Amino acid sequence: MENREEKRLAWIGIIVSEQADAAQLNALLSQWAEDIIGRMGLPHQRDGLSLISIAMDAPGERISALSGRLGQLKGVTAKVLYAPQNAGSAYRSGR
């Protein structure tokens, strides 16, 4: 029997400055596409920033890995907010 880490619901808030490489950011997010359940981006032209929200349903290890990789990109800041451990249990059980 395969031992799999339990999935978690999480939100990653990303702030992207204008000098960031958008293609590199999008390629990275594409690698995690199977774990991303929603994405919204908002440009803030006055300050030359973009705000991106990512909703994930994945093992904590994968969420942390994506956040870490995002933080390595020049001009990108990322923070993770995890839902409580039992959040989404009714959704997962089909209720």
pLDDT digits over 40-59, tens only?
999 998 988 999 999 999 99
What is the amino acid identity at position 39? R
In this predicted structure, the answer to whether residue 2 has a pLDDT above a threshold of 50 is no
CA torsion, points 34, 37, 40, 41, in degrees to nearest 10?
-20
What predicted TM-score, i.e. pTM, was given to this entire model? 0.82
What residues form DSSP beta bridges with 9? 57
Domains of the chain: 7-93 (3.30.70.1150)
Q: What is the pLDDT of residues 55-68, one digit of tens each?
A: 999 999 999 999 99
Identify which has the larger pLDDT, 1 or 65: 65
Q: Which long-range contacts (CB under 8 A, 24 or more apart) does 61-64 make?
A: 61/5, 62/32, 62/35, 63/8, 63/10, 63/12, 63/35
> What single-letter amino acid sits at 76?
V
